[in-house]
Chains A and B, each alone.
Chain A
């Protein structure tokens, strides 16, 4: 089946630290991969995406590379800020009934950045 496994949280870092949140997936075919971010009390926002192997998605200093050989899409940022505190979700997109594009999510990783 299709599934996403994320690094267990919560993760607590100091400001300006390097961040890695691991994400691995199992899928049939060649899914697109996404990272979403959820700030407290809000819905999910698309952070970045990659649609094929070796693609690198990037946004707001965050990066993730689609690694087909290791079925991974790890999220990284070189220097985190307090404002990056949020819950991060890794997801893959699969095709369903009549071509519908469905998202399968990991369980989420809560990130807290201390000043």
Chain B
């Protein structure tokens, strides 16, 4: 069974940093591109970042470019999101998500971890 379990969320002050982790199991993690998607309270889904299967290519939404870094450790089956210079508008549930093979869309999602940026 495919499982994606996020951790690392919490309360952080504006300007602070946080690292999210996503532990993957039930599939060959190193074969799949991965995404981070966020959702502010009561708002819609917003794509944040993606990384290819071996970590050599990344992409970011304009709103987080230069502040967030996506990475992965295929030996540990874990996806990361390093978030620096956090702002109040970064407050959201952050989902780890798997991109299916051959343009199959985001076929599995974690349950999300809440990040709250507030003083």
Whether A and B are associated in the same complex: the answer reads no
